[in-house]
Amino acid sequence: MALLLREADVREVLAMPELMEAMESALKAFSAGQVTQPVRTAFEVPAGPGFFGLMPAYLHDPPALGAKLVTVFHGNERRGLTSHLGTILLLDPETGATLSIMDGRYITAVRTAAVSAVAARYLARRNASTLGIIGSGVQARTHLEALGLVRSLREVRAWSPTAANLARFVAEAPVVRAAASAEEAVHGADLIVIATASSTPVLQSDWVADGAMVISLGAYRPNMREMDPKLTARARLYVDSRAAALQESGDVLLGIQEGRFTASHIVAEVGEVAAGKAPGRGTDREVTIFKSLGMAVEDVAAAKLVYDHARELGKGTEI
């Protein structure tokens, strides 16, 4: 018997503060070599058009085994579906039997923000209080929640190329002020989140003040770039996974191909910083970038947390 957990079940048992601690532990374990995880298998689906990714991982301690199947189809909005969909399979690490099949869309949304918040603990200035968001979708919402748990946010500005989505975001989160442009949203901000589907730069280096931290969530393919290459070269660059960044991130790979920097421009993985094995922010004037590509171990660790709580609370359906 396996436990089927729909999105409503996942939402009921998954809280951001606890998830953040689980993500910090998962990041440390990954960087310490305590995770078995290949770089995800990914390819374009021409019929959509879309993107399919398969993300398996095994966490050694405590043992957890599973995989996420994730799709990104930007045309889904015309069909009344979200663009990012996912399903997570959690397996028994001793037998390989299926323990749970659970919705992965919500887990992806919140674990991504939780990882960013962990990164902000170490890479954002301690007195960071202004957040600028480019985008107004799911990740804008979850990052507003997560970053508010690690820094005292006094001002939040957002801009989106889709005015209706921006208006809805501001209506749902009155703390957010709508900006007239991307530049206005990020001007002077201590924390900047790029939460768009753009494959070309939406954030210019000239807009980013000294001392800011930039969280880059998109541009997950080698031919995509969402940051001004001058900014990537200017900043101290941190990633979730070196191997993934050097295979998947256009912001990193294109900069290397253009001779702007080498692979050593990546200062560290966030897990190394969290474990005290690598330096984080050095001065209040440095610009830091966290390039987030997302890792299977994050999904598996989050799924294990969801599964354990669901069993305790009697949530889900046996199938």
What does the pLDDT look like over 291-307, one tens digit per residue? 999 999 999 999 999 99
| Predicted pLDDT at 228 | 97
pLDDT cut 70: percent of the chain above it? 100
What does the pLDDT look like over 190-225, one tens digit per residue? 999 999 888 899 999 999 999 999 999 988 888 999
Kindly write down the DSSP assignment for every residue of 218-238, as one continuous string.
---STT---B-HHHHHHSEEE
Is the domain of 123 the same as that of 89?
Answer: no
Is the domain of 95 the same as that of 18?
Answer: yes
Is the domain of 190 the same as that of 279?
Answer: yes
| Predicted pLDDT at 1 | 85
Residue 78 structure tokens? 């015309």
Is the domain of 195 the same as that of 306?
Answer: no
Residue 144 domain-assigned?
yes
Q: Is the pLDDT of residue 110 over 90?
A: yes
Q: Residue 294's CB: how many other CB atoms inside 10 A?
A: 21
Mean pLDDT lowest among 75-79, 150-154, 262-266, 267-271: 75-79
| Predicted pLDDT at 114 | 98
Is the domain of 301 the same as that of 283?
Answer: no
Average pLDDT, stretch 266-295? 97
Q: Is the pLDDT of residue 313 over 90?
A: yes
Is the domain of 257 the same as that of 244?
Answer: yes
The residue assigned the tokens 């002077």 is: 188
| Predicted pLDDT at 219 | 82
**pTM of the predicted structure, to 2 decimals:** 0.95
- Find out whether 66 and 91 touch, Cβ atoms under 8 Å: yes
Residue 308 domain-assigned?
yes
pLDDT cut 90: percent of the chain above it? 90
Average pLDDT, stretch 114-118? 98
Is the domain of 301 the same as that of 290?
Answer: no
Residue 223 domain-assigned?
yes
Is the domain of 30 the same as that of 168?
Answer: no
Residue 171 is part of which domain span?
Answer: 119-294
Q: Is the pLDDT of residue 48 over 90?
A: no
Is the domain of 233 the same as that of 301?
Answer: no
Please indicate whether residue 256 or residue 78 has the higher confidence score (pLDDT).
256
| Predicted pLDDT at 7 | 97
Is the domain of 82 the same as that of 174?
Answer: no
Residue 114 domain-assigned?
no
What does the pLDDT look like over 54-90, one tens digit per residue? 999 999 999 999 999 999 898 898 888 888 899 999 9
Residues 65, 96: Cα–Cα separation, whole Å = 8
Q: Is the pLDDT of residue 242 over 90?
A: yes
| Predicted pLDDT at 271 | 98
Please indicate whether residue 219 or residue 150 has the higher confidence score (pLDDT).
150
DSSP 265: G
Residue 312 domain-assigned?
yes
Residues 317, 237: Cα–Cα separation, whole Å = 43
Residue 113 domain-assigned?
no
What CATH number is attached to the domain comprising 205? 3.40.50.720
Which residues does 163 contact at the CB level (< 8 Å), separation at least 6?
none
- 3 state SS of 116: helix
pLDDT band at 184 (very low <50, low <70, confident <90, very high): very high
- Residue 133: φ, ψ to 5°: -120, 130
Mean pLDDT of all residues in the chain?
Answer: 96
The count of domains in the chain is: 2
The number of CA neighbours under 13 Å toward the Cβ of 169 is 28
Residue 84 domain-assigned?
yes
Is the domain of 152 the same as that of 290?
Answer: yes
CA distances from 102 to 4, 14, 81, 138, 142 (A): 6, 13, 18, 19, 19
Is the domain of 8 the same as that of 156?
Answer: no
Residue 155 domain-assigned?
yes
- 3 state SS of 205: helix
